[in-house]
């Protein structure tokens, strides 16, 4: 009886599980980036108008060029503006848009050889409302809804949407051949030209294949017609093949100037653009159909790491498949090396002497869980690594920085502080391996081997033990103030006859006052290094306490080196090297007790005081041209704190806390709304 009950219960649970299947079943297995949002946990207080005004969303227009805010760079201005307003309405007023406010929203990215796209998965609460709002606000009233595949769909202006009564998918896709595009703008030597021709033929072949497939699917006799003014694609492909054969047989002289045929004529290029647009829409519909009908095995739902993240508590989360991204990067690097003729064609390349790079990040994922609590936003950044990386990195972060290092950190206007404590042997082994592998597959060409050889030669002269023990693994970096430094530059003045005269002008630059400290384990060896640097005149001993770095005449770049009491110090703070090396900072100038305690709470601590940074900048730069840009960030961030946190086996966790100033009662916004303003502030500064 008990067994029957258990079987019945299990069956019930399984069937319930199937029916309550999450919409992430529609995210493909090879998605590289996924964002999950639960925007309504904070209530419907997100302000649509406020969000749609953010520059980050391009105000729907000018600011958005080349940035993947929506996941597509090829949207025209009008659809981009409509999408801005549509997405901000979803965040602010789900019931108006027909969205189910109790379920997750997803955005994801997938890329392959010919297609790169972002897609949004929306939970549909009321299909009639959803369909009406989507049609009217994103595609334009009167657009024909197609209902021939078991779901409704709309398409136009590079936006494609499909929906049922349960979920909707909006796809923004860019089809391209990135490596091919590079060739259209390059000078070729013959070796590259061979490759360019091959690309060209592949491109033509792939377009023809798509045409054929689409033609069959749509039962159209011919979707893409030939231009009457130009050769057919078949003829061009044939011509390319002939040229390729002649090149390979050495029939063409070395200095022959050749062009990639499909683009040699601009009229043809334009014609092809129109054809591509048609092909693009058709491909987007195929892609949508694939996503709407994705099966479990081809879905990200089959990825345990992603699935387990979805069970956790958060308001928003990002996740990316780091292993997959690195694998793709590796593939591109190898292709690029072959393409640029560094090592001959791919087939001619020597067997690779190390094969760790493609596998070292296997099964590695990066995730971040963001939670909003009134004036505090917390983000937990997690890096899960596969067994190979886990072996390399476990136990790498441990211990705390030394108390004596903290007394050299000036605390009265501290802007940021980073403290790191690591096991040096683990750290060097890990860094060396990653550095080596990255170098091995970089595009540095002929320099790669030289660097790798230097790395190995260094090991001949410095034994592993010395490398591990030179530093103790305790590092502190602090920005203790911002200071104005007057620098000069040369520009020109012109007289009435435009004869030029060099003039030297002054300007004030803001330079961060910083100190970097490293604990030294082998003092005699470190002293030898400094002696060598002094002998080669790279540094100059000023007195018994410190050296001056000699490679700059620019006062803004003046640096000092100190080595005493087992601490190696780099700083541009002249007051520190002249007045505080013996006893450190005292009294009000000293790092306060709370910060000293925070600095030693974990092997990794990073702290930033946003408000103080902006106040300091304002004091120096009264007419800051970028003031308006910083404004949004300043109004929304008080401080940030990053701390290492204990994770599960094979996992590294970093906790980030952003404190935001409270809003006025009458202007109270949701934490999500404020978080978007922080992102917008960062966006403006980066831009």
Partner 1 sequence: MKTQHFSLLFILVAWSFLGSGCFEIVEDITVHNNGSGEFYYTANLSQSKANLDLIMQDDSSEGYRVPSRQEIDADIVRTKATLEKQPGITNVVTTTDWPNYIFSVKFSFASMSQLNAAVESVSAEFAADHKSIPEASGNFAFAGKVFTRKSNYNAEKEKEKLTAKDKDILRNATYTCIYRFDQPVKISNNAKSKISASGKSVMTRFNMLNLATGIEKIAHTITLK
Burial class of residue 14, CB neighbours in 10 A (0-12, 13-18, 19+): exposed
Q: Shortest approach of partner 1 to residue 446 CB, angstroms? A: 12
The H or E element containing residue 28 is none
Question: d(Cα 560, Cα 571) in Å, to the nearest integer?
Answer: 5
Q: Which is nearer to partner 1, 19 or 494 (CB)?
A: 494
Q: Shortest approach of partner 1 to residue 557 CB, angstroms? A: 5
Q: Which residues bind partner 1 (CB under 8 A)?
A: 65-67, 185-187, 189, 444, 487, 489-492, 494, 496-498, 500, 507, 509, 551-554, 556-557, 687
Contact 57, 83 (CB under 8 A): no
Contact 378, 334 (CB under 8 A): no
Strands annotated E in 38-166: 105-111, 115-123, 152-156, 159-163
Q: Shortest approach of partner 1 to residue 364 CB, angstroms? A: 22
Q: Shortest approach of partner 1 to residue 66 CB, angstroms? A: 5
Residue with tokens 């100038």: 589
| DSSP SS3 for 316 | strand
Q: Which is nearer to partner 1, 20 or 66 (CB)?
A: 66
Q: Shortest approach of partner 1 to residue 500 CB, angstroms? A: 7
Residue with tokens 């549509």: 86
Using alpha carbons, list the distances in angstroms from residue 122 to 91, 127, 131: 11, 12, 12
Q: Shortest approach of partner 1 to residue 65 CB, angstroms? A: 7
Question: d(Cα 579, Cα 584) in Å, to the nearest integer?
Answer: 8
Q: Which is nearer to partner 1, 509 or 615 (CB)?
A: 509
Q: Which is nearer to partner 1, 20 or 491 (CB)?
A: 491
Q: Which is nearer to partner 1, 254 or 665 (CB)?
A: 254
Q: Which is nearer to partner 1, 384 or 572 (CB)?
A: 572
Q: Shortest approach of partner 1 to residue 267 CB, angstroms? A: 14
Q: Shortest approach of partner 1 to residue 549 CB, angstroms? A: 11
DSSP 8-state secondary structure symbol assigned to residue 328:
H
Q: Shortest approach of partner 1 to residue 555 CB, angstroms? A: 10
Contact 164, 127 (CB under 8 A): yes
Question: d(Cα 670, Cα 552) in Å, to the nearest integer?
Answer: 49
Q: Shortest approach of partner 1 to residue 321 CB, angstroms? A: 22
Instruction: Select from 208, 294, 192, 200 the least CA-distant residue to 247.
Output: 192
Supply angle C-alpha 486, 492, 495, rounded to 5: 135
Interhelix angle 190-218/233-248, rounded to 10 degrees, is 150
Q: Which is nearer to partner 1, 186 or 274 (CB)?
A: 186
Q: Shortest approach of partner 1 to residue 24 CB, angstroms? A: 31
Quickly list DSSP for 378-438.
Answer: EEEEEEE--HHHHHHHTT-B-S---HHHHTTSB-TT--EEEEEEB-HHHHHHHHHHHHHHH
Quickly list DSSP for 207-238.
Answer: HHHHHHHHHHHHT-S-SSPPPSSS--HHHHHH
Q: Which is nearer to partner 1, 286 or 439 (CB)?
A: 439
The H or E element containing residue 350 is none
Q: Which is nearer to partner 1, 211 or 271 (CB)?
A: 271
Q: Which is nearer to partner 1, 461 or 498 (CB)?
A: 498
Question: d(Cα 174, Cα 66) in Å, to the nearest integer?
Answer: 13
| Tokens standing for residue 618 | 């304002």
DSSP 8-state secondary structure symbol assigned to residue 302:
G
Q: Shortest approach of partner 1 to residue 490 CB, angstroms? A: 4
Using alpha carbons, list the distances in angstroms from residue 214 to 68, 203, 219, 283, 647: 29, 16, 8, 8, 49
Residues in CB range of 436: below 8 A, 6 or more apart: 354, 452, 455
Q: Shortest approach of partner 1 to residue 570 CB, angstroms? A: 13
Question: d(Cα 587, Cα 602) in Å, to the nearest integer?
Answer: 26
Q: Which is nearer to partner 1, 187 or 222 (CB)?
A: 187
Q: Shortest approach of partner 1 to residue 181 CB, angstroms? A: 9
The DSSP bridge pattern shows strands 416-421 and 604-608 to be antiparallel
Other beta carbons within 10 Å of 673 = 23
Q: Which is nearer to partner 1, 105 or 479 (CB)?
A: 479
Q: Which is nearer to partner 1, 533 or 556 (CB)?
A: 556
Question: d(Cα 156, Cα 142) in Å, to the nearest integer?
Answer: 12
Q: Which is nearer to partner 1, 367 or 684 (CB)?
A: 684
Residue with tokens 């640029």: 340
| Tokens standing for residue 644 | 């290492």
Q: Shortest approach of partner 1 to residue 504 CB, angstroms? A: 9
Q: Which is nearer to partner 1, 139 or 441 (CB)?
A: 441
């Amino acid at each position: 009886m008990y067994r029957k009950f258990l079987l019945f219960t299990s069956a019930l649970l399984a069937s319930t599980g199937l029916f309550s299947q999450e919409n992430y079943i529609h995210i493909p297995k090879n998605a590289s980036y996924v964002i999950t949002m639960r925007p309504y946990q904070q209530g419907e207080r997100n302000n649509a108008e406020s969000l749609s005004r953010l520059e980050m969303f391009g105000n729907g227009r000018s600011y958005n060029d080349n940035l993947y805010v929506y996941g597509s760079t090829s949207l025209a201005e009008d659809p981009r503006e409509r999408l801005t307003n549509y997405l901000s309405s979803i965040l602010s007023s789900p019931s108006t848009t027909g969205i189910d406010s109790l379920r997750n929203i997803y955005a994801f990215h997938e890329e392959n050889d010919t297609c790169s796209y972002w897609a949004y998965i929306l939970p549909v609460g009321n299909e009639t409302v959803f369909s009406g709002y989507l049609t009217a606000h994103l595609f334009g009233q009167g657009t024909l809804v197609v209902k021939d595949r078991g779901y409704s769909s709309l398409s136009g202006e590079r936006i494609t949407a499909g929906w049922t009564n349960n979920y909707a998918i909006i796809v923004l896709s860019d089809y391209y051949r990135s490596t091919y595009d590079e060739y259209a703008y390059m000078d070729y030597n013959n070796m590259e030209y061979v490759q360019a021709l091959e690309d060209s033929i592949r491109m033509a072949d792939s377009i023809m294949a798509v045409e054929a497939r689409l033609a069959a699917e749509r039962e159209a006799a011919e979707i893409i017609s030939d231009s009457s003014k130009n050769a057919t694609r078949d003829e061009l492909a044939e011509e390319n093949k002939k040229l390729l054969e002649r090149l390979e047989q050495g029939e063409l002289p070395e200095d022959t100037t050749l062009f990639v045929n499909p683009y040699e004529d601009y009229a043809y290029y334009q014609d092809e653009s129109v054809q591509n647009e048609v092909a693009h829409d058709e491909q987007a519909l195929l892609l949508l159909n694939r996503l709407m009908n994705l099966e479990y095995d081809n879905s990200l739902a089959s990825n345990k790491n992603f699935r387990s993240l979805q069970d956790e508590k958060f308001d928003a989360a990002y996740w990316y498949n780091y292993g997959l991204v690195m694998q793709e990067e590796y593939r591109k690097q190898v292709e690029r090396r072959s393409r640029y003729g560094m090592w001959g064609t791919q087939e001619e390349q020597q067997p690779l002497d190390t094969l760790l790079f493609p596998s070292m990040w296997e099964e590695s994922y990066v995730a971040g869980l963001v939670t909003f609590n009134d004036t505090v936003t917390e983000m937990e950044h997690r890096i899960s690594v596969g067994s190979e990386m886990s072996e390399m990195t476990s136990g790498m972060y441990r211990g705390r920085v030394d108390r004596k290092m903290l007394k050299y950190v000036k605390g009265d206007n501290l802007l940021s502080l980073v403290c790191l404590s690591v096991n040096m042997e683990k750290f060097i082994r890990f860094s060396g391996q990653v550095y080596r592998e990255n170098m091995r597959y970089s595009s540095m060409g002929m320099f790669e081997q030289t660097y790798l050889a230097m790395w190995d030669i260094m090991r001949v002269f410095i034994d592993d033990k010395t490398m591990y023990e030179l530093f103790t693994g305790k590092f502190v970096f602090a920005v203790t103030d911002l200071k104005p430094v007057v620098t000069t530059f040369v520009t020109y003045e012109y007289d009435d006859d435009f004869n030029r005269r060099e003039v030297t002008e002054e300007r004030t630059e803001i330079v961060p006052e910083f100190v970097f400290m490293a604990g030294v384990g082998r003092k005699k060896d470190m002293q030898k290094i400094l002696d060598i640097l002094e002998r080669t005149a790279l540094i100059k001993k000023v007195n018994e306490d410190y050296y001056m770095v000699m490679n700059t005449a620019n006062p803004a770049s003046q640096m000092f080196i100190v080595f005493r009491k087992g601490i190696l110090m780099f700083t541009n703070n002249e007051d520190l090297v002249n007045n505080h090396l013996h006893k450190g900072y005292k009294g009000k100038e000293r790092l306060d007790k709370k910060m000293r305690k925070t600095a030693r709470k974990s092997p990794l601590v990073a702290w930033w005081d946003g408000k103080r940074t902006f106040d300091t900048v304002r004091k120096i730069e009264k007419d800051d041209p970028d003031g308006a840009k910083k404004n949004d960030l300043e109004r929304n961030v008080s401080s940030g704190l990053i701390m290492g946190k204990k994770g599960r086996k094979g996992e590294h966790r970093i906790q980030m806390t952003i404190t935001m100033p409270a809003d006025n009662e009458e202007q109270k916004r949701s934490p999500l709304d404020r978080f978007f303003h922080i992102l917008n502030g960062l966006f403006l500064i980066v831009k």
